[in-house]
A and B are shown apart, each in its own frame.
Chain A
Amino acid sequence: MSIDSLDPDDVDAADILGSAIERREDPSLLTGDAEYTDDIQLPEMLHMAILRSQHGHAEIEDVDASAAEEMDGVVAVYTHDDVADEAVSRDGSLLIPTGWLLESLRQVDHPVLAKDRVRYQGDAIAVVVAEDRYVAHDATNAVDVSYDRLDASADPAAALDGEAGQLHDDAEGNVAFDWEIGDEERTAEAFDDAAHTVSLELENQLLIANAMEPRAAVADYHPGSDELDVFMTSQNPHLHRLLMSGVIGHPEHKLRVKAPDVGGGFGCKIHHYADEALVALVARDLERPVKWTSRRTEGYKTDAPGRGHITTAELAMDDDANITGLRVDTKANLGAYLSTFAPAVPTYLYGTLLSGQYDIPAIHASVTGAYTNVPPVDAYRGAGRPEASFLVERLASLGAREAGVDPAEFRQKNFVPDDAFPYQTQVAVEYDSGEYGKPMAKALEAVDYDAFRERQKEAREEGRYLGIGFSCYIEACGLAPSELAGQLGAQAGLWESSLVRFHPSGTVTAFCGTSGHGQGHGTTYAQIVANELGIPYEDVEVVEGDTDEIPQGMGTYGSRSAAVGGSALVKSSQKLVEKAREIAAHQLEADPADVEFAGGEFAVSGTDRSLGIKEIAQQSYLAHDMPDDMEPGLEATSFYDPDNFVFPFGTHVAVVEVDPESGEIEFENYVAVDDVGNQINPKIVEGQIHGGVAQGIGQALYEGAVYDDNAQLLTGSMQDYAVPKSLHIPDMETESTVTPCPHNPLGVKGVGEAGTIAAPQAVVNAVTDALEPFGVDTVEMPMTAERVWTAVNEQATADGGDGARDADAATTEEGGEN
């Protein structure tokens, strides 16, 4: 079930939008010509390394950098006081801000270099700048730090229970916020009146993004002009520029942030870290270019992790297996400080998605944010929506089991009906469009569901345990509109900006404020613009990721690029066409209302008189014959602020075989049916689904950041943290349905996070379905062989020893538990 790529030369211009053309980005990536941040070498460039805390939580008694300063090749060492600025904050610390505020939020100071306390293993204490990469790292080892260790905890429940030390004076009991959504009273009534209820205790474990390219930054200061260039691994250069400008006190218009080629992000390159602020500060101070490149082990201790929920969730049903209520209580790990979008992730990006694909009349969720001794937690692919989808879909399977209904039928019965859209949920959001039964029907057909249940029955008689798991997910992407985001606490707008510019010779450059890092925007945006302007695809160039080139932008995250950035490109193209229409009308001596535009040609209705848009572009720059009062040139800018989120949805189904003797899980099949609205390039959509599902399977089976009781990271390298390998991920079958978004001009919905949101619960539901004969109804993620085996045997023991298996506990070679 693979889509064939097409050579763009073989595609008619009229068909370019929606065609699975090969990516134009690939040749440079395939030949080594690509330029990632660490590839950049500048004359006289210095290297920076960061000394980080060894402990999860400690007072700093003393920092002695004298030995490091004396080392050959070391240019400078900076500690807290060296970068302090009395004008900036209470104690002179330069502070990293958060970009999202909640009503009950207790904000805390986050200095770029620790002053007298470190709060996670990886907290920056000092930076060393040297002539050479190796010397810089050597010298960090020569900086002598005396610590006085404090109680630490990586666990949000423990931190809130007072088992950890108090992290911040401004956050009593380590509570960052208390937040709730929905109707508590009505939900309580639903549970009082329920015929069936099920409850689930779950942990949605902390994950590390593991973009293959570690974070990096190169800063270059020009003293003559006071201009400061920062090349960095960014998903949103304009946002980084804005935040960094405030942190280091550099005028925004003198600061340039450029994302060169970026090797994946998955959220962890959205946020503003102390690291890039320090590179910029040091380069400005020394007036020499400075490079910092994170090592992978450093990334494990500093890249913002995601998820980290401990949740109790309950589902209420009537005697006909209709869902009547959902109640959720979550403790969310925020880490040691507030990262850029951290407060939004376990609140508005989570609580608002708790209705899933279902018509649930009463929902209530309360979330407590906890400060703990792990790196600041923030968005990781899916960001809040996977946590919501996981618990809803786990409860759907448990609810079906409790009510004695088939899990597929239970879901179909409770779907929001097709005629109910736009659908107002009980958790604030209004779903734009959906036909939830369609992907489900396709998925059931793809796995031949009835036949599977027969095979499952036969296999069980032979002592083999097959299982099928459903995940009917909903997600919200393209967070908008700005006014709403502002009401919810966003300290930024969530529009997107674009500029489409004709050159006099008739080719086009399209600038967009998103910043792709593997999504193929150079290809898909050119497809959009070529289609709008009716010009050949190869005549459109796309530019992203540089604040010096693109007027404004908000960046790439939350699956927003096509829905918001793509729509902004449509808007700019349309404005440009309108101007061109007026020029054409003037030159064709017709009323603009009588001039039609199709296929790149302006034609006067009912005549054979026409002018091509490229010709108009040339005329607009010649400006010899323009309408009165019209300025020369042909370009247009737009700021597109969507009316609503977009709500992609779909059904994923995992089919597995579980060996209860060893706890091992084998995939028999994985089917993903996704509805992401119209597709600009189906091949790229397919690739996004594949990659997203792989990360979701990673969470289900392999991944997890594990800390000990002192908040020391135990999974601190790629040898300990199990990033899935090629043998860990099955071939998948991908299909789609198309329900266009009704409120954006492309009808697109977003695809970047769908797979990651959908997959974990499909796999967990499949494993628990397989183990139903053993009475197993839940296994915590990551479902290592050891955990699966333990679940089987604990249940067997609990059942009085019947069927208890005399097998040795098999442990996987990797997983979150080693």
Chain B
Amino acid sequence: MAEHDITLTVNGTEHELEVESRTLLVHALRDQLGYTGANVGCETSTCGACTVHLDGDAVKSCTLLAVQADGATLDTVEGLADHGEFHPIQTGFQQEHGLQCGYCTPGMMMTATDLLEENPDPSREEIREGLEGNLCRCTGYQNIVNAVENAAETMGSGAVADGGSVEERAEGDAGCASGPSPGAETADRCEVRWPDEGESR
């Protein structure tokens, strides 16, 4: 198997490495360079867990050869935060509970940041379309869409095109026992009703 010397600039750091012709970019990043944020979820370019930016565009690194990225600038999830300060997309995912197991999340965020660069003020429908190449099995997508909206707002895109703003969506009954009940002082906390034997704690 032929070996090739290539150069990859990952999150601003230049790396020289030796790869086989067949080495996939995702394995070069994960196994050789230790950037394990991009995950492998399929081998058919379907799930998007391996999404990174190559020269600024979101690509699926499981179906690119490392040699194809020779000389390229790559951005991975490890480079999103700036000295511990979250990128707005990370804050959005945290605040909106846009992740559960977290496996698809790096890829989702890399796709979403690319999407927001192309379209800083997407509608919910446009966000769903933009994320079609990234599968999530935990969240049902709703909070991921909210997370992207949240990031779009933070990044200064003004009002959300449809579905109401993040604030508007948050209004109304948050799902407590009987609407905002006397014990539920805010819409984000439900009164906990203790069973009888739990009273004398």
Contact = CB atoms under 8 A, between A and B. Distances in A.
Interface in B90-144: 90, 93-97, 99-106, 109, 124, 127-129, 131-132, 134-144
B35 A41 contact: no
A532 B194 CA distance: 13
A92 interface: no
A71 B42 CA distance: 27
B51 to A, nearest CB: 12
B102 A518 contact: yes
Contact of B105 (A30, A743, A747): A30
Interface in A717-774: 717-719, 723, 725-727, 729, 731-732, 734-738, 740-747, 755
A106 interface: no
Contacts of B174: 1, 3-4, 20, 682
B188 A717 contact: no
A262 interface: yes
Interface in A515-533: 517-520, 532
Given A3-B174, A212-B41, A32 B134 contact: no
Contacts of A736: 175-177, 190
B182 interface: no
A632 B139 CA distance: 45
Contacts of B201: 532, 574, 745
A378 interface: no
A271 to B, nearest CB: 18
Contact of A734 (B76, B93, B175): B175
A5 interface: yes
A30 B86 contact: yes
B160 interface: no
A32 B174 CA distance: 32
A744 B194 CA distance: 10
B143 A31 contact: no
A41 B30 CA distance: 10
B187 A3 contact: yes
Interface in A1-51: 1-6, 15, 17-20, 22-23, 25-27, 29-32, 34-36, 38-39, 41
B189 A740 contact: no
B12 interface: no
B77 A32 contact: yes
B102 A263 contact: yes
B112 to A, nearest CB: 11
A32 B35 contact: yes
B198 A5 contact: no
A568 interface: no
Most buried by B among A263, A693, A694, A736: A263
Interface stretch (A316-324, A395-403, A683-691, A706-714): A683-691
B180 to A, nearest CB: 12
Nearest to B128: A726
Interface stretch (B53-61, B66-74, B165-173): B165-173
Nearest to A26: B94
* A interface, over-half SS: loop
Given A263-B101, A727-B128, A682 B190 contact: yes
B25 to A, nearest CB: 14
Interface in B20-64: 20, 22-23, 27, 30-31, 34-44, 46-47, 49
A727 B129 contact: yes
A232 B173 CA distance: 41
Contact of B189 (A20, A29, A35): A20
A192 to B, nearest CB: 43
Given A719-B44, A729-B141, A747-B193, A1 B172 contact: yes
Given A27-B94, A30-B93, A1 B102 contact: no
A465 interface: no
B132 A4 contact: no
Contact of B76 (A32, A211, A262): A32
B188 A682 contact: yes
Given A1-B169, A212-B101, A738-B176, A678 B193 contact: yes
A210 B104 CA distance: 12
A725 B100 contact: no
B3 interface: no
Interface in A195-219: 210-214
A264 B175 contact: no
Contact of B175 (A1, A517, A690, A719): A1
B193 A25 contact: no
A261 interface: yes
A622 B153 CA distance: 53
Contacts of A532: 201
B196 A264 contact: no
Contact of B194 (A19, A211, A740): A740
Contact of B78 (A32, A727, A729): A32
Contacts of A18: 189-192
A19 B37 contact: no
Contacts of A687: 97, 100, 138-139, 143
A574 to B, nearest CB: 7
A295 interface: yes
A734 B169 CA distance: 12
Nearest to A693: B140
B95 A22 contact: yes
A300 B124 CA distance: 32
B140 A296 contact: no
A725 B172 CA distance: 28
A168 B20 CA distance: 45
B93 A729 contact: no
Nearest to B86: A30
A695 interface: yes
B140 A725 contact: no
Interface string B146-159: 10000000000000
Interface string A251-268: 000000000011110100
Most buried by A among B38, B39, B175: B175
Contact of A32 (B37, B49, B95, B128): B37
Contacts of B23: 134
A518 B100 contact: yes
Contacts of B90: 30-31
A723 B135 contact: yes
A557 to B, nearest CB: 15
Contacts of A742: 195-197
Given A5-B95, A22-B94, A718-B42, A264 B138 contact: yes
B132 A679 contact: no
B57 to A, nearest CB: 19
Nearest to B78: A32
B138 A691 contact: yes
23 contacts: A2-B142, A20-B188, A32-B106, A133-B27, A211-B103, A212-B135, A213-B41, A262-B101, A264-B137, A678-B192, A682-B188, A686-B143, A690-B140, A694-B140, A717-B43, A717-B44, A719-B46, A723-B47, A725-B132, A727-B132, A732-B140, A747-B193, A747-B194
Given A35-B36, A726-B145, 14 more contacts: A20-B189, A26-B99, A29-B102, A36-B39, A41-B34, A211-B137, A212-B41, A212-B138, A519-B100, A691-B140, A718-B46, A725-B131, A736-B177, A745-B198
Interface of A: 1-6, 15, 17-20, 22-23, 25-27, 29-32, 34-36, 38-39, 41, 133-134, 210-214, 261-264, 266, 293, 295-297, 517-520, 532, 574, 678-679, 682-684, 686-687, 690-695, 717-719, 723, 725-727, 729, 731-732, 734-738, 740-747, 755
Going nearest first, the 4 A-B pairs with the smallest beta carbon separation are A32-B37, A263-B103, A29-B102, A518-B101
